[in-house]
Amino acid sequence: MAVPPSLIDARILGGPEWIGSERYDINAKANTEFKPSPDGPPKELLLMIRSVLEERFKLRAHRETRELPIYEYLHSKGHPDYAIADNFFQSAFGGSFLNHQWLIAAASPTWPGAPVGNHSIIDSNGMPNGTYPLYTPTGPVLDRQVTQVCPSAVPGRACGDYAINTIQPAYQPFKGSPQLPPHRGVEAVLHLARGVRQRTRG
């Protein structure tokens, strides 16, 4: 029988020293036929595996729930290989809206003449948000749909009419507001051309 990797729990605590270094292949045959299931092995089969581990390896286990600091847990030795923020492709430094725009069009959509209330405000460090638990803004901040009004309060930071946070498209399907104005003529062609050019290069 083969045990799927999903059953090998990375959160095993305790046990003999050899449990982390020695490996064994167990070949066994059950007296009962079990039908394959997309949900994994049947409960009865798992109980048989548990019985073999207890009898042959003197391994007894029980389940318990513990509260663990998630950051320390995911960065500790032997942590499970989950995707963490720095382990996946990111096309732009921002949220999912901005990442999707750059992934498809390799450019930020624009909102010419966006109302002042829809522009972000950044502090002296270039941060637009005061809700991060480990950061205290150095001044007023506002995380809105569009970049800050030009000129930039901090050199080298984007400013103007670039849409950077979730905003509804000009065309169907869309739901809610605010909504980008339609891109027409040269502006629409340029936005699409940037994406095509970027994708053919890479």
Q: How far apart are CA 101 and CA 85, in angstroms?
A: 19
Answer left, alpha or beta for residue 126, where phi above 0 means left and psi between -120 and 50 means alpha: left
Query: What is the per-residue pLDDT for 198?
Result: 46
Highest mean pLDDT among 74-88, 161-175, 179-193: 161-175
Instruction: Tell me what percent of the residues of the chain surpass a pLDDT of 70.
Output: 73
Contacts of 60 (CB under 8 A, 6+ apart): 54
Averaged pLDDT of the chain:
75
Confidence of residue 179 (pLDDT cuts 50, 70, 90): confident
Confidence of residue 6 (pLDDT cuts 50, 70, 90): very low
Contacts of 163 (CB under 8 A, 6+ apart): 97, 101, 108, 109, 110, 111, 145, 146, 180
Comparing 44 with 161, which gets the higher pLDDT?
161
Confidence of residue 1 (pLDDT cuts 50, 70, 90): very low
Taking the domains of the chain in order of start, what are their residue ranges?
1-88, 91-202
Comparing 125 with 133, which gets the higher pLDDT?
125
Confidence of residue 25 (pLDDT cuts 50, 70, 90): confident
Say which residue the tokens 């909102």 belong to: 111
Comparing 42 with 116, which gets the higher pLDDT?
116
Say which residue the tokens 């049947």 belong to: 42
Query: Which residues are paired to 159 by β-bridges?
Result: 148
Residue 135 has pLDDT above 50, yes or no: yes
Answer left, alpha or beta for residue 72, where phi above 0 means left and psi between -120 and 50 means alpha: alpha
Query: What is the per-residue pLDDT for 8?
Result: 47
Query: What is the per-residue pLDDT for 130?
Result: 86
44 neighbors 34 (Cβ within 8 angstroms): yes
Q: For residue 28, give the nearest of 5, 6, 9, 46 by alpha carbon.
A: 46
Comparing 89 with 194, which gets the higher pLDDT?
89
Rg of the chain over CA atoms, in angstroms?
27
- Residue 53 main-chain phi, psi, to 5 deg: -65, -40
67 exposed, middle or buried (CB, 10 Å; 0-12, 13-18, 19+)? exposed
Q: For residue 147, give the nearest of 183, 182, 111 by alpha carbon.
A: 111
What is the dihedral sign for C-alpha 73, 75, 81, 85? positive
How many residues comprise the chain? Answer: 202
Residue 124 has pLDDT above 90, yes or no: yes
Query: What is the per-residue pLDDT for 143?
Result: 92
Comparing 77 with 150, which gets the higher pLDDT?
150
Angle of CA points 143, 146, 151, to nearest 5°: 95
Residues 86-123: tens digit of each pLDDT: 555 566 777 788 888 887 777 888 888 888 999 999 99
Residue 127 has pLDDT above 50, yes or no: yes
